[in-house]
Amino acid sequence: MGSPMKLRARADGDVVEVKILMAHVMETGQRKNPAGEPIPAHFIQTVTVTYGPRTVLSAQWGPAVSANPFLSFKFKGGEKGGTIRVNWVDNKGDTRTDATIIL
């Protein structure tokens, strides 16, 4: 299980802006350690964000995404007090799910 994400969700009318900072190494698999051995790939593959039962964002990532990725997006149909849940799964099967209340 990865480190906790930093989440923020704010409503402006029925439009909700979500900001997510994920702590992850996002290793590409192309670098080598000081001994010259390849560092195995370790990166987030899928990100899913839900508002109640509704999926508001679904993404598939690869090794080209930077370490500790930041994601920001907006969606319509949310309201203050609702819950946003963010889940990611990486290529080694590690997962993380965190939630926040819309302000």
DSSP tag of 29: S
pLDDT at 48: 98
C-alpha 7, offset from chain centre: 9
pLDDT at 21: 98
6-101: CATH homologous superfamily? Immunoglobulins (2.60.40.10)
Q: What is the residue-level pLDDT of the chain in tens, covering all 103 positions? A: 678 999 999 999 999 999 999 999 999 999 999 999 999 999 999 999 999 999 999 999 999 999 999 999 999 999 999 999 999 999 999 999 999 999 9
Reading the block at residue 22, the tokens are 């994920």
pLDDT at 2: 73
pLDDT at 3: 86
**Could you identify the residue written with the tokens 């999926």?**
55
Domain boundaries, the chain: 6-101
